[in-house]
Amino acid sequence: MNFPVLYLRKGAERRLKAGHLWVYSNEVDTRRSPLTEFEAGVQAELRASNDKPMGTIFVNPHALICGRLISRNASHGMTPQRLTQRMETALALRDRLFDKPFYRWVFGDSDGLSGLVIDRFDDTVVVQISTAGMELMKEAIIRAVQRLVHPAAIILKNDGKMRKVEGLDTYVEQAHGAEASLLKVEENGVRFEVPLEGGQKTGWFYDHRMNRQRLQAYAPGKRVLDVFSYVGGWGIQAACAGASQVTCVDSSSSAIDSVHHNARLNGLDNVETVEGDAFEALKALADEKEKFDIVVLDPPALIPRRRDQKAGEQAYARLNQLGLRLLERDGLLISASCSMHLSQEKLTDIIRGSGRKIDRFVQLLEQGHQAPDHPVIPGIPETDYIKSCFVRSLTGFF
């Protein structure tokens, strides 16, 4: 294939050589290859400043990440065949990891498919496309899904924030099969049903699967508070594992409805809910002198951009202080983060500081990571984003 050529500025190839797959617009030699000459989504050959071929990329001249590496072979573009091969390779890993078809099938750059996420919910597949290059491959993606797993339904949930950055319209579309309104999930032996309309991201967060499984070991006989509960992923699993009572907190009325629905689905009668802002709800519970054996804090990304770092870290600190205050003397705090810009070490330090602020002695028991259907590429720190700390809190110990 004959591709147009995009040239890098001198030295800009170092990060790509180290394993990254993104090209930023300020790394492009716009004198030799003006970005305005490229159409959004087009495939191009990438070359270093010394003319050495670096591979092929998807180009979007309108985005800060203007290039996404498809292959390190300059003659290999993203064809329907190559797309299918990579999806098949990703599928083989998930089928080896999990005995039932509930998982993240494709995790973007980690599976060599930048801009594409696919989640599998048994015979329903949800596809999320976030880049112009992958949008042009939409029909090939649908055909590959049909060929590889023969689903009853394929849903395109293309309403993510990244699409606006890429200059793409947002939409949700039934691409194949009968219309689906509910997504059925089975995780760690617990059943859930999630409404597709209004659901977050693809509808479910498989990334904390292993951390929720670890919660089950601590839950029997305990009183559990699940904050930012969404549809009850943590809380319902704790209840199914034998928690004596579970309280789920979320600001969304539809999410709260789903918590009750999922409790009934699993035959539970010990799950209650609080609808409202998480910080305000935690303060109100503290004012009411409520105490819990386990508090789970799994907020949305409080540091969405690097410029939000300081304010976001302060929000995590306030949140963890509130959570620790609600624990019984020998209680367990599970503090999670999906903020790419917050490291595991920084989260641990925030918890340490929060404990000292309210005179708690804290012990770090375990650290959790994202599930293996969200593989990390060492050269791409952005693929490593989930972390959790299991912390025991003691009052008056020292």
The pLDDT of residue 306:
85
pLDDT at 367 over 80: yes
**Pairing mode of beta strands 153-158, 124-129:** parallel
pLDDT in tens, 301-350: 999 888 889 999 999 999 999 999 999 989 999 999 999 999 999 999 99
Alpha carbon distance 302, 342 (integer Å): 9
Out of 71, 96, 118, pick the residue that ends a domain: 71
Domain match, 202 and 328 both: yes
* Domain containing residue 111: CATH number: 3.30.750.80
Kindly state the average pLDDT of the residues 287-300. 96
Number of structural domains in the chain? 3
Domain match, 153 and 224 both: no
Domain match, 67 and 85 both: no
pLDDT in tens, 246-265: 999 999 999 999 999 999 99
Provide the pLDDT confidence category of residue 390 given band limits of 50, 70 and 90.
very high
The pLDDT of residue 396:
67
CB 196 within 8 A of CB 183: yes
pLDDT in tens, 189-219: 999 999 987 667 778 999 999 999 999 999 9
The pLDDT of residue 201:
72
Q: Which of these, 296, 204, 188, lies nearest to 240 by C-alpha position? A: 188
The pLDDT of residue 258:
95
Alpha carbon distance 141, 157 (integer Å): 13
Domain match, 270 and 386 both: yes
The pLDDT of residue 398:
63
Out of 135, 160, 180, pick the residue that ends a domain: 180
CB atoms within 10 A of CB 30: 15
Domain match, 168 and 192 both: no
The pLDDT of residue 180:
82
- Is the C-alpha dihedral spanning 186, 229, 299, 345 positive or negative? negative
Residue 329 is which amino acid? Answer: R
Q: What is the mean pLDDT of the chain?
A: 95
Domain match, 39 and 148 both: no
Alpha carbon distance 311, 301 (integer Å): 12
Residue 75 is which amino acid? Answer: S
Out of 155, 180, 205, pick the residue that ends a domain: 180
Domain match, 46 and 102 both: no
Residue 290 is which amino acid? Answer: E
Radius of gyration of the chain (CA): 23
Q: Which domain holds residue 11?
A: 5-71
Domain match, 281 and 344 both: yes
**111 token code pair:** 């599976």
CB 262 within 8 A of CB 234: no
The pLDDT of residue 160:
85
Alpha carbon distance 122, 182 (integer Å): 12
Q: What are phi and psi of 92, to 5 degrees?
A: -60, -40
Alpha carbon distance 258, 188 (integer Å): 18
Domain match, 144 and 191 both: no
**Pairing mode of beta strands 53-59, 116-121:** unpaired
Cα dihedral value 284, 285, 287, 293, nearest 10: -160
The pLDDT of residue 176:
94
**DSSP collapsed to 3 states, the chain:** CCCCEEEECCCCCHHHHCCCCEEEHHHECCCCCCHHHCCCCCEEEEECCCCCEEEEEEECCCCCEEEEEEECCCCCCCCHHHHHHHHHHHHHHHHHHCCCCEEEEEEHHHHCCCCEEEEEECCEEEEEECCHHHHCCHHHHHHHHHHHHCCCEEEEEECCHHHHHCCCCCEEEEEEECCCCEEEEEECCEEEEEECCCCCCCCCCHHHHHHHHHHHHHCCCCEEEEECCCCCHHHHHHHHCCCCEEEEEECCHHHHHHHHHHHHHCCCCCEEEEECCHHHHHHHHHHCCCCEEEEEECCCCCCCCHHHHHHHHHHHHHHHHHHHHCEEEEEEEEEEECCCCCCHHHHHHHHHHHHHHCCEEEEEEEEEECCCCCCCCCCCHHHCCCEEEEEEEEECCC
Domain match, 380 and 244 both: yes
pLDDT at 368 over 70: yes
pLDDT in tens, 221-248: 999 999 999 999 999 999 999 999 999 9
Provide the pLDDT confidence category of residue 1 given band limits of 50, 70 and 90.
low
The pLDDT of residue 110:
97
**281 token code pair:** 């709800």
- 252 by Cβ neighbours in 10 Å (0-12 / 13-18 / 19+) ranks as middle
pLDDT in tens, 43-93: 999 999 999 999 999 999 999 999 999 999 999 999 999 999 999 999 999
Catalytic positions, written as ranges: 338
Kindly state the average pLDDT of the residues 371-392. 96
The pLDDT of residue 302:
93
The pLDDT of residue 123:
95
Domain match, 93 and 56 both: no
The pTM (predicted TM-score) of the whole model is: 0.94
Domain match, 307 and 191 both: yes
* Domain containing residue 235: CATH number: 3.40.50.150
* Domain containing residue 49: CATH number: 2.30.130.10
Under 8 Å CB-to-CB from 307, ≥6 apart: which residues? none
pLDDT at 137 over 80: yes
* CA dist list (Å): 300 to 239, 272, 291, 386: 23, 22, 24, 11
